[in-house]
Amino acid sequence: MPIAGFATVTKKVRSLPIKLKKRTTLRAVDSMKSSPWKERDVITRFSSSCQRHSQQIVRGIGDDCAVLAPDGQHDWVVTTDMLVDTVHFDTSWHPAYRLGRKCLAVNLSDIAAMGATPRFILLSIAIPGSFSNEWLEQWTSGFASLLDEFSCSLIGGDTVRGDQFTVNITAIGTTRKGRAILRSTAAAGESIFVSGQLGSAAAGLILCRQAGRLGPLDETLCRPFLDRHLDPAPDVACALLLAESGLITAMQDLSDGLATDLAHLAGQSMVGARVDASLLPEHENLARICAAIGHDPVQLQVAGGDDYHLVFTVQAGKDEELLRFLNSRKGPPIYRIGETFAGSGVRLQHDDREVDISFGGFQHRSPTADEPSVEAE
Ligand SMILES: Nc1ncnc2c1ncn2[C@@H]1O[C@H](COP(=O)(O)OP(=O)(O)O)[C@@H](O)[C@H]1O
Ligand SMILES: Cc1ncc(C[n+]2csc(CCOP(=O)(O)OP(=O)(O)O)c2C)c(N)n1
Ligand SMILES: [Mg+2]
Which of 87-101, 127-141, 207-221, 257-271 is predicted with the least confidence, judged by mean pLDDT?
207-221
Q: Report residue 155 CA to chain centroid gap.
A: 20
Say which range, 30-39, 129-138, 315-324, has the weakest mean pLDDT: 30-39
Q: What ligand has the least distance to the C-alpha of 155?
A: 1
Ligand 1 atom at minimum distance from 64 CA: 22
Q: Best mutation site among 61, 63, 147, 152 for ligand 1, i.e. most ligand atoms within 8 A of its Cβ?
A: 61
| Closest ligand, as measured to the CA of 112 | 2
**Does the beta carbon of 158 lie inside 6 Å of ligand 1?**
yes
Residue identifier of the C-alpha nearest atom 8 of ligand 2? 88
What pLDDT is attached to residue 206? Answer: 96
Does ligand 2 lie within 6 Å of residue 85's CB atom? Answer: no
Which pLDDT score is estimated for 4?
36
- What average pLDDT does this structure show over 17-22? 42
Residue-wise pLDDT tens digits, 165-221: 999 999 999 999 889 999 999 999 999 999 999 999 999 999 999 886 777 778 889
| Over residues 245-261, mean pLDDT | 97
Establish whether residue 261 lines the binding site of ligand 2, counting it when its CB lies within 6 angstroms of any ligand atom.
no
Which residues are close to ligand 3, an ion, with C-beta < 5 A? 256
Q: What is the mean pLDDT of residues 338-342?
A: 98
**Which ligand 1 atom is the nearest neighbour of the CA of 39?**
8
Q: How far apart are CA 203 and CA 209, in angstroms?
A: 10
Which residues are known binding-site members for ATP?
157-158, 183, 255
Nearest atom of ligand 2 to the alpha carbon of 257: 23
ipTM of the complex: 0.87
User: Which residue has its alpha carbon closest to ligand 1 atom 13?
Assistant: 62
Q: Can you give the pLDDT at residue 67?
A: 85
> Is 367 a residue whose pLDDT tops 80?
no
Question: Does position 2 have pLDDT exceeding 90, yes or no?
Answer: no
pLDDT number for residue 95: 97
Q: Whose CA is nearest to atom 11 of ligand 1?
A: 156
pLDDT, residue 376, reads: 40
pLDDT above 80: residue 29: no
- First-residue to last-residue Cα distance in the chain: 64
Could you give the CA distance from residue 21 to residue 32 in angstroms, rounded to a whole number? 16
| Cα-based torsion angle of the residue sequence 347, 373, 110, 112 in order, rounded to the nearest 10 degrees | -30
Please state the residue numbers annotated as binding site. Answer: 64, 79-81, 88, 110, 157-158, 183, 253, 255-256, 306, 362
| Least confident window among 3-7, 38-42, 80-84, 326-330 | 3-7
pLDDT at 59: 87
Which residue has a Cα nearest atom 6 of ligand 2? 88
Closest CA to 75 of 160, 180, 171: 180
Arithmetic mean of pLDDT over the chain: 89
**Alpha carbon 19 to chain centroid distance?**
42
pLDDT the model gives residue 30: 52
Whether ligand 1 lies within 6 angstroms of the CB of 156 is answered as yes
Question: What percentage of the chain carries pLDDT values higher than 90?
Answer: 76
- Inter-residue contact 229 to 288 (CB < 8 Å): no
Check pLDDT > 90 for residue 87: yes
Mean pLDDT of the 266-279 span: 97
Domain architecture of the chain: domains with CATH? 39-176 (3.30.1330.10), 191-356 (3.90.650.10)
